[in-house]
Every structure is written in C-alpha cells, then in structure tokens.
Amino acid sequence: MDRFEAMTLFSAVAEAGGFSAASRRLGIPVSTLSRKVAALEAQLGTRLLRRSSQGLQLTEKGRAWHIHCRRILAEMEAAEAALGGDTATVSGTLRVTAPVIFGLRFAAPLVAAFIAAHPRAAAELSLNDRPVDLAEEGFDLAIRTGVLADSSLVARRLGSFRRILCCAPAYLERHGPVGTPADLERVEALVFTRLANPQRWRLRDASGAEQVAAVRGRLVSDSADALYVAALAGQGVILTPAWQARADIEAGRLVRLLPEFATAPVPVHALFPDARLLSGKVRALLDAAVRAAPALLEP
C-alpha cells in the first residue's frame, strides 16, 4: 500500500474520530477505509486504533504515529508549494475551534470567507467554551480569549478587547443614572459565571487606576449570549466585550455606562500545535485571521 495514502487515510480517521465521519469527509466507502487502515496496522505490526464505550480512540502508538503523519504530510504540502505556488497548498480540510460568542462573530465569517476564496479547501468549525486538546482531538487551529495557560502550543497574538458596561435604555429609565463604579453595587447585574471573579467587576480608567465594584444580580449564567439577550431586554447591566456591544450601542439598543471605564485588555490568540507542522492551508487561514482581527480587536 502507498505509504502517503495510508498516512492520509489514517490521519483522516484519527481527526474525524471514526470511520464513518472520515468516510464522508474523504468521499470513499467505510469498508474501503477500514480495510486500508487494517492493512496499515498489519504492515506496521501494531494496533493504532481501538474501540471503546467512548467510540474510536487512538492507542498510545497511534497517537505517536499520528504526530509523525501530520509532520510528514505538512512537509509534503510545503514541498509542493515550493514547486507549484501557493495554490497547491490551500486544499484539504481544516478543523478549527473557537469560543461560542467570539467564534460566531469572528471565526465563522473568517472560515466562510476562507473557503469561498479557496475552492479546494473545506473546513469543520467547532464552537464551544470548554478547553480543547488540539492534538488529541485533531484540530489544526484554535482561537482563544484570555490569558493562556502554560502549554506546548504555539500562539500567535491577534489582538485584545476590553469589557465595557452596558444596559438597555429602558432599564436606565427605570433605575436612574449610574455615575460612578460605586453605583454599580445598587444595580441589577447580569453575572457571567465564567469570569475569574464573577461578582467583583474590576474596572480601569484612562490612567490605569483600578476600581472594584461588588455586584449582585438575580440572573447569573455561564452563557454570555443568554446574559446579552437579557441586557437587550432591559433586565439589567452587563459587563460585555466591546466588540459584541458596538453595533447595538450605535443603533441605540444599548447604552454604554461609565464610558471612561473598562476592564483590563483581554488577549486573543490563535493557537496551533507546532509551527513546523503547519500546512499551507493552516498558514493561509492564520494569515487571514491576522488580517481580519483589526476590524474587531484592539492591537
């Protein structure tokens, strides 16, 4: 069996998490795919995949082989690019993950524009707020907000954003003005539980001086989107990313409170497993992300 074909097929199964999903992605029958992967295991003399109650999983040797396959296939794409130009590299399927709300606003249009510009490329976009193991789950690129944990991943900074205070005009009419951070302790706060200290809102003025408001609210949620809907409905004050509220503030659906105050900048990064393993398609998407970021983020 052709070794490069075997690497491609095995990598597709590993990254799709099963034969059926890989079969749909590759456009070949499940039986053919299963037979060729079995032949690869026989050729290597080891089991690469195992079935469990959680589905199809890589064995320890399978994970190691997958890393080697990704590196070799990426190097092949780079070699083809050197011979045939950039169009040779922007092909195949990209797997991208991002947080839900930022992903809807940034990653989704980015990926859609990318595949429109590159007819040979395809993409799978997963939006969720849980930590994702890129290597284990077969993702090529992740967009993440917030301070990064120590990791073996390579990070490319895209920019940053600040969270600002907003509410609907109707809420402000009922409650009255909010003139200082101390006034926040008397408002109906919409509390996002995924923040490090959800009920202590840390705000900075233009000089960098920080003030902390201890807030309370009857509506708390781990969904930023749910809280944003509540803010638009006039149910309270929200501390929300500036990029999320910008259009609604301009349209008058929200009012910015204490405009001289905002949180400290929240960094946004694109992460990938190893710069040496980047294929042409991943490099192209990363470059597109860097170009698109200034429209939404601060430097």
Which residues of the chain carry a pLDDT beneath 50?
86-88
Supply the pLDDT for residue 85. Answer: 52
Supply the pLDDT for residue 88. Answer: 47
CA distance 285 to 299: 19
Radius of gyration of the chain (CA): 23
Supply the pLDDT for residue 274. Answer: 72
Supply the pLDDT for residue 82. Answer: 60
CA distance 221 to 208: 29
Domains of the chain: 1-84 (1.10.10.10), 86-156+266-299 (3.40.190.10), 163-257 (3.40.190.290)
> Long-range contacts made by residues 241-247, C-beta under 8 angstroms, separation at least 24?
241/101, 241/102, 241/161, 241/162, 241/163, 241/164, 241/266, 242/161, 242/162, 242/163, 242/164, 243/105, 243/161, 243/296, 243/297, 244/101, 244/105, 245/164, 245/166
Supply the pLDDT for residue 87. Answer: 45
- Specify the 3-state DSSP secondary structure of 53: coil
∠ CA 7-11-16, nearest 5°, is 155
